[in-house]
Amino acid sequence: MVLTEARCGINDAPNEILLLICKELPRGTLATLCRTSRALLGVAQHVLYVQISLADYAYGLKRLRSWCLAINAHPHLATRVQSLVLRLPNLGSLPESLSFDDAHQLQAALRRCTRLQRLAIFKADRSARRGCNAAWLLGGCAFRLHGLINEYFALDDDFASFLSQQTELRRLSLDHIERTCTGARYLGAFSGEAMRNVITASVPDHRDLRPEWRLERLEIAYRVSSNDALRLQDYVRTLTVLNILTPENWRYSRVCLADSVDPISKLLPNLVHFAAVDIISLNATLLNMLSPHVSVAGFQRLKTLTLMIWNNVLSFSSEYDANEWPSGRQYHVNVNEYIFPDAPSSGMEALVEHTAQACKSLERVIIGTFDPVSRKHFKYVAKGDAKGRISVTAEAPADKFDFLSVSQFGSE
């Protein structure tokens, strides 16, 4: 048989087979094939429009306008959208801003996406500190989200109204946002059925926590000396992953979050993953604090412990005397011949090893530091294997400590 006689045209292939092919192809390849074969176009739309990402701002608003045009011209495409990621400039009249014409086109497109389940909105200018009072874009939207990430909208009356209608939310992430609404300024004060089913939350304030949530994962800006710890007690039975981060307005504080290991071990002994991360190097360096290897024994199930301390701690101590002076073994963070003339090297390798040994369930301990003299970042890692052996590594990454690469908050 001649090969050309046995060849089957793509138009003759069942849609089920074409759909399987489309799902296996990279999105870029699939889009290219659709431009050369109209037979694939109808089936490919079931794949191409399910998850939409317009987060690459290299093309400005060109891709956003193109997507809005397609959605508004072809409503059947809108009903296929389940996940949408946007990166938007601020609303305004400047050339680089989101114009009101573009905003109204986006609002119309969002209203058509009635089956949208996951929405993430980021700022085009990541250094911008102010949120955008443009949540009216979400007005009239009928979708009920399962996941929402907001780093763009300020918490104004429009955004508060939108949140109050979201009864199916399971995952919620709010950046450090301005609160300009005239009603409840924190999520914890919202009434009714709003957001009752959230199990994963990233919020900038303990007042955004709701007691009826059955949180399993939480990332929060944590104030050691406030009521934050008391609010965490509401989730003692359910919480397994906790990341605490330095609040943005604590640059001049003398509080280092590594000091929270001991109270958290008593408050939430069933945590599986715990991270305490100082976002910035504080202006005032702490002299000493209790070593984490003393505290981790209070955890019953902990598998990973991550501490990012910059140069906010000079040393850790295994105990304190009656006068609250550090005693016992000292673990020096950085070598400083003027402060610790007898310390031959940093004690961080020993600290991560002893911390891993102190809690039987621990599989990994990471401590990130910064040496202000050499201007280098250091990462110390202790890992345990099934036979109880612990390996320790130390490295000096070229850039600062990459917390997202080791965080368990977003892992499944």
C-alpha span between 309 and 352 (Å, rounded): 13
Return the structure tokens found at 382. Answer: 């202790």
Q: Is 384 exposed, middle or buried (0-12, 13-18, 19+ CB in 10 A)?
A: buried
- Digits of tens for pLDDT over the chain (412 positions)? 444 444 445 666 666 666 676 666 677 776 776 776 676 766 767 777 889 999 987 777 899 999 999 999 999 999 999 999 999 998 876 777 899 999 999 999 999 999 999 999 999 987 776 788 899 999 999 999 999 999 999 999 999 999 999 999 999 999 877 788 887 788 988 876 789 999 999 999 888 999 899 999 999 988 776 567 778 999 999 999 999 998 876 665 667 898 899 999 999 999 999 999 998 776 555 668 889 999 999 999 999 999 999 888 888 988 877 666 777 788 988 766 445 555 545 689 999 999 999 999 999 999 999 888 888 899 999 999 888 899 999 998 877 788 888 899 876 5
Task: Please check whether residue 366 is in contact with residue 384, taking contact to mean a CB–CB distance below 8 angstroms.
Answer: no
Q: Which of 411, 368, 376, 381 is nearest to 241 (CA)?
A: 411
C-alpha span between 314 and 318 (Å, rounded): 14
Q: Tokens 């089957």 — which residue? A: 8
CA 65-115-11 angle, 5° bins:
75
C-alpha span between 396 and 312 (Å, rounded): 18
The domain ranges of the chain are 15-48, 221-412
Q: Is 81 exposed, middle or buried (0-12, 13-18, 19+ CB in 10 A)?
A: buried
Instruction: Give residues with Cβ within 8 angstroms of 337, minimum separation 6.
Output: none
Q: Which of 251, 246, 234, 353 is nearest to 308 (CA)?
A: 246
Task: Please check whether residue 40 is in contact with residue 23, taking contact to mean a CB–CB distance below 8 angstroms.
Answer: no
Q: Tokens 């992953």 — which residue? A: 241
- At residue 181, the 3 state secondary structure works out as coil
- At residue 294, the 3 state secondary structure works out as helix
Phi first, then psi, for residue 51 (nearest 5°) are -120, 115
Return the structure tokens found at 134. Answer: 């443009």
- b/e map 113-124, b = 16+ CB within 10 Å: beebbbbbbbbb
What are the DSSP calls for 268-318, one per residue? -TT-SEEEEE-SS--SS-EEEEE-HHHHGGG-SS--EEEEEEETSEEEEEE
Q: What is the pLDDT of residue 383?
A: 96
Instruction: Give residues with Cβ within 8 angstroms of 212, minimum separation 6.
Output: 196
- Helices 62-73, 100-112: crossing angle, 10 deg rounding: 50
Q: Tokens 């412990």 — which residue? A: 305
HEC string for 356-403? HHHCCCCCEEEEEEEECCCCEEEEEEEEECCCCCEEEEEECCCCCCCC
Q: What is the pLDDT of residue 366?
A: 97
Q: Tokens 């303990």 — which residue? A: 206
- Helices 38-48, 27-36: crossing angle, 10 deg rounding: 150
Instruction: Give residues with Cβ within 8 angstroms of 205, minimum separation 6.
Output: 186, 220, 221
Task: Please check whether residue 97 is in contact with residue 89, taking contact to mean a CB–CB distance below 8 angstroms.
Answer: yes
